[in-house]
Chain A
Amino acid sequence: MMSTRALGLGSPLRKTLFSPSLARNPSLIRTTFAKRAVQTESLPPSAAVDILNKQRLLRPSSPHFTIYQPQITWIASIANRVTGGALSALLYGFSLAYLFAPGTFDSVHVVEFVGTLPDTVKYAGKALLAAPFAFHGLNGIRHLSWDMGKFMSMKSVYLTGYAVLGGTAISTVALPFL
């Protein structure tokens, strides 16, 4: 601006820019200002969400836990849930059965039924109950000790993990003979 004024060009430039003939010539304006090659569309934000959601559905899923190497850390963690769930399912199943059919699922009938089973089935069944009970109990203590801030190092996590596995193995064998 200063330079145009210094050169004395301010007034001629202004004259050219604002001359009525220029404004009345649309073809000149079209060639002077660059044409927009891209077509744009005005969309409400909800449409933007639609587009994003559609794109999200096309995205690949992130790798699931199957990509991880089986390690005692996470195997024991999910086993804790599985064993606890299985034992709780047994408790719920029996209690609801007794609630709705107390004549069939009373202690006399249950004990009588178990008594008729062959020894192998009895011991196998007891081992099948002892294993999740021992694991969930021992691993529960392991979890509680973590909650108190104990055995938090990687070495301790593995050490306690193997201790729980060992204890579970011994209990699974010993408890059926109790």
Chain B
Amino acid sequence: MASSLLASSSKRALVRRGPSFAKSLLASRPATTQSSDALYVPGGPVYKGTVNDPTSFPEPSRAHGSHHWSFERLLSASLIPLTGAAFATSPSVHPVLDGILGVSLIVHSHIGFDSMLVDYLHPRKFPVLGRIATWTLRTATVGVLVGVYNFNTNDIGLTELISKVWHA
């Protein structure tokens, strides 16, 4: 008796509240959390969505995952024989080897710098500074590639330079 009364009254309440209730449910998905008075602190915690939203993960991708990883290792490993060969041979006789070593060193350096930026200045935490740093690195790497190309074509090449400076 009492329970049926309760059920009927709550049902009535729900019906009466219906449209506004549905509206508030829809409105409970704000687009951003940046409407907040709590200012974003660079390097501080990362807030994504509302408090009840689960953590989102990036789409799994082999290009960003295993292939990228294998490429990095292969490049790092190939630098060992490349450096040894550059030590052993004369760069004026093997300019291609000098060129491959130069490009490999630049790509290896770029990956290293980029992983530092990803670790310490990620755009997720530093939306402005992180992006500036990433694009500065990319620009610098292009400039370095051109610079090394110029040096290896118009001058004596990196290996010969190191050898000459070492015995200067």
Binding site for B on A (CB under 8 A): 1, 10, 14, 44-46, 48-50, 52-54, 56-57, 81, 84-85, 87-88, 91-92, 94-99, 102, 106-107, 110-112, 114-115, 122, 126, 137, 140-141, 143-144, 147, 178
Complex CA–CA separation, A98 to B152 (angstroms): 11
Known: A56-B45, A57-B44, A81-B116. 6 other contacts (CB 8 A): A45-B50, A46-B33, A81-B112, A110-B161, A137-B83, A141-B80
Is B148 on the interface with A (CB-CB < 8 A)? yes
Q: Which of A53, A84, A114 contacts B168 (CB 8 A)?
A: A114
B35 touches A57 (CB 8 A): no
A50 touches B116 (CB 8 A): no
Q: Which of B76, B113, B143, B165 contacts A95 (CB 8 A)?
A: B143
Q: Which of A10, A46, A99, A140 contacts B50 (CB 8 A)?
A: A46
A99 touches B35 (CB 8 A): no
B38 touches A50 (CB 8 A): yes
What are 6 of the A-B contact pairs (CB < 8 Å)? A1-B2, A48-B51, A50-B38, A98-B147, A107-B156, A111-B165
Q: What is the 8 Å Cβ interface bit string for chain B, positions 45-88, against chain A (1 contact, 0 not)?
A: 10100111000000000000000000001001101100100000
Given A49-B47, A54-B37 in contact, is the A91-B144 Cβ separation under 8 Å? Answer: yes
Binding site for A on B (CB under 8 A): 1-2, 24, 27-30, 33, 35-38, 41, 44-45, 47, 50-52, 73, 76-77, 79-80, 83, 105-106, 108-109, 112-113, 116, 140-141, 143-144, 146-148, 150-151, 154-156, 160-161, 164-166, 168
Complex CA–CA separation, A93 to B116 (angstroms): 18
| Shortest CB distance B113–A (Å) | 6
Contact residues in B for A81 (Cβ distance below 8 Å): 112, 116
A92 touches B144 (CB 8 A): yes
Contacts between the two chains (Cβ within 8 Å), count: 123
Contact residues in B for A84 (Cβ distance below 8 Å): 109, 112
Question: Which residue on chain B has the smallest CB distance to residue A4?
Answer: B1
Contact residues in A for B47 (Cβ distance below 8 Å): 49, 52-53, 56
Complex CA–CA separation, A107 to B151 (angstroms): 9
Complex CA–CA separation, A95 to B147 (angstroms): 5
| Shortest CB distance A160–B (Å) | 16
A144 touches B77 (CB 8 A): yes
Contact residues in B for A99 (Cβ distance below 8 Å): 143-144, 146-147, 150
Contact residues in A for B141 (Cβ distance below 8 Å): 92
A44 touches B150 (CB 8 A): no
Q: Which of B30, B52, B73, B150 contacts A147 (CB 8 A)?
A: B73
Complex CA–CA separation, A97 to B79 (angstroms): 24
| Shortest CB distance A110–B (Å) | 6
B151 touches A95 (CB 8 A): yes
Question: Which residue on chain A has the smallest CB distance to residue B70?
Answer: A147
Contact residues in B for A137 (Cβ distance below 8 Å): 80, 83
| Shortest CB distance A124–B (Å) | 14
B161 touches A50 (CB 8 A): no
